[in-house]
Amino acid sequence: MMTKCPECGSSDIVPDLIVYADAAASGQNPPYVKLMEPEPKKLPFIWSPKEVKAGFRAAICGACGHTQFYTRQHAEILEAHKKGYTSQTYGLNIIPNL
């Protein structure tokens, strides 16, 4: 978490803010990332992929406005990534080059 601004050097940091996207998300759900378990080569009769989610927090410099996003679930995201979990592709083709 940011304790000193990398842009201006100020220590006037407003930490640990939840990041919301009211217009983009349904209800009051903060945005998040999600990694999903890859499909096994031999698919069992009943299978549901495991998933790991991480919400975003922000730290904002009160002097210059520089903002950093971070997550508290970084270890869980890294472990899932090492196991081959990936993000789903976005299905509506409205976000180019993803």
Pairwise CA distance, residues 64 & 13, whole Å: 10
- pLDDT-derived band at 31 (thresholds 50, 70, 90) equals confident
Q: Are 34 and 89 in contact (CB under 8 A)?
A: no
Position with higher pLDDT, 5 vs 23: 5
Position with higher pLDDT, 26 vs 10: 10
Q: Where are the chain's structural domains?
A: 1-39+50-88
- pLDDT-derived band at 47 (thresholds 50, 70, 90) equals confident
Is residue 10 predicted with pLDDT exceeding 90?
yes
Q: Report the pLDDT value the prediction gives residue 24, as an integer from 0 to 100.
A: 54
Consecutive H or E run containing 76: helix 74-82
Mean per-residue pLDDT, 38-48: 88
Q: Report the pLDDT value the prediction gives residue 94, as an integer from 0 to 100.
A: 53
